[in-house]
Amino acid sequence: MIQGDDDGTVAVESAKIEGMADSRLVDENHTFIVRSQFVAREIIYFLKNGHFSEG
C-alpha cells in the first residue's frame, strides 16, 4: 500500500525534490500520465512561466 497521495505506483512525497519551484497534483494514473493533454499543457505552461497554472 502506498502512503498518502499517489498515482497508483509512486507516492507524491517520494517524487518531491528539495528546492523545486512548484508542484501540481493531477488526476491521472502512472501509466497514462504521459498521454494526458492536460499534463502536456501544464508542462508547457511551467516551462514558459516557471510555475504551474492555477486551474
Average pLDDT over all residues of the chain: 93
Q: Give phi and psi for 12, each to the nearest 5.
A: -55, -45
Q: Give phi and psi for 6, each to the nearest 5.
A: -160, 170
Q: Where are the domains of the chain?
A: 1-55
Q: How far is CA 11 from CA 6, 31, 39, in A?
A: 4, 14, 18
Cross-strand pairs, 11 = 6
Q: State yes or no: pLDDT of 32 exceeds 70.
A: yes
**What pLDDT sits at residue 1?**
83
Query: Quick one: average pLDDT of 6-25?
Result: 93
Q: State yes or no: pLDDT of 26 exceeds 90.
A: yes
The residue count for the chain: 55
Q: pTM of the prediction?
A: 0.81
Question: Is the distance from CB of 25 to CB of 51 less than 8 angstroms?
Answer: no
